[in-house]
Structures are given as C-alpha cells and as structure tokens.
Amino acid sequence: MKIVCIGRNYGDHARELGNAVPDEPVVFLKPPSALIPRNGPINLPAFSTDVHHEIELVYTIARRNGRAVADKVTIGLDLTARDVQQELKSKGLPWEKAKSFDGSAYVADAFTALESFPSSGHTIEFMLKKNGQVVQSGHSGQMIFPVDALIAHVERYMTLEPGDLIFTGTPAGVGGLADGDWLEGYLLGELLFELAVEGPTSQR
Ligand code: ZN
C-alpha cells in the first residue's frame, strides 16, 4: 500500500505559503510507517519546532476495467514539519524529511463510498477544529485538480493499486501544533476523528 499526496491543490493555501498556483499537480509520497494508529495520539517529532496540521480529503483507490478510480472518501491529516520543509525547499531538495516521517499521517477509519453521492460533481465538505475553533474548512469543489484528474496524472508516473490512498491537498488555514492541542476532523458535518497532540517524547 502506498500513500500518494498532492501539494498546492487549493489556490488559497498555495497563496498563504507564498507559492504559485501550479499548472500541474505537485506529487509526493508517504510510507506506510507514516500512519498514526487509530485514535492517536499525534506525537510531535523532536527535529521540528513547527509541525503544521493540513486537513485533506483522502480517497481510496480501486481498479475497474483496468483503470485506477477513486472508490471511497474520508478525511486525513498531512502533518508537515514546516521549518524543515522551508529549509529543504530553499535548497531545492526533496520534502520527505518534512512530510514522510513516522506519525506524519492520519486517516479516519470511516470511509464513504463515492457511489453514495448523487453525482460525481457532488461537493464534499470538510473541516478541522483545533481546541474547539474552526481552523480549516473547504470542499472538493475548491480543488484546482479534481480527484479524477489527480489519479490520471499520478498514473502517468506510477501505477495506483487497490487500497492505495491519495491525499488531495489542503485548504488555507494551516498552522502549528503544540503539546496539549486537541484536533477534531469533520466530513459532511460529521465528526470522524478526535486526536490529542503530545510534545516530543523521543529523541527523533
Ligand atoms: Zn498536504
């Protein structure tokens, strides 16, 4: 199973980090070891002092008639060591140290089949609260590249297999996490996860 992630897929988020809106999807990977166990907690790594939350729609991949398709949707967190990422970006280096560390991804376990939506153009709303305040909200209609276009683009480079996950980018409002924070993720108004944040407990 692989975890494919898309960067800068919401114009308001690309702009808040001072990035140009891309003319093709920005793609990176997380390893399976990035996944946070069910119900958490989030353990902040010691190598960063600025780990950001990014709430995202996450789709599972299925294959039908020889083609990869989005099958089910949920929400997840793409945790990003923003200080590390800025340094890597400034040197033109890949982002793995900032994006792919153990504990850098959470995926809610309640998936909704896309078939259950009335049309493929249905708008899927999602939201993140930190300590009871809404910090990020968005919907699928705001994506620069919709999920079908993302899948087609990724498959130009690598095969997507059944059970693979694709994180589809985050809307504006990303921000830092601290020991004691409490996160709640919502999909279509329904609370799908609650996670505690704990400060660094290891030397990593
Ligand atoms: Zn992201």
58-74 pLDDT, tens digit each: 999 999 999 999 999 99
Return d(Cα 127, Cα 176) in angstroms, integer. 16
Q: How many other CB atoms sit within 10 Å of the CB of residue 170?
A: 28
CA of 6 to the centre of ligand 1 (A): 6
Q: What is the pLDDT of residues 167-184, one digit of tens each?
A: 999 999 999 999 999 999
- Distance (angstroms) between ligand 1 centre and the Cα of 51 equals 12
Q: Is 86 helix (H, G, I), strand (E, B) or coil?
A: helix
CATH value at residue 131: 3.90.850.10
52 lies in which domain range? 3-198
Q: Is residue 175 part of a domain?
A: yes
Neighbours of 121 (CB within 10 A): 9
- Cα 7 to averaged position of ligand 1 atoms, centre (Å): 5
Number of domains in the chain: 1
In angstroms, rounded to a whole number, what is the distance separating the alpha carbons of residues 144 and 153? 13
pTM: 0.95
Least confident of 7-16, 40-49, 73-82, 125-134: 7-16
Pairing of strands 112-113, 67-78: antiparallel
- Contact call for residues 84 and 173 (beta carbons, < 8 A): no
Does 203 fall in a domain? no
Going from the Cα of 203 to the center of ligand 1, the distance in angstroms, rounded, reads 25
Could you tell me the distance, in angstroms and rounded to a whole number, from the CA of residue 171 to the centre of ligand 1? 9
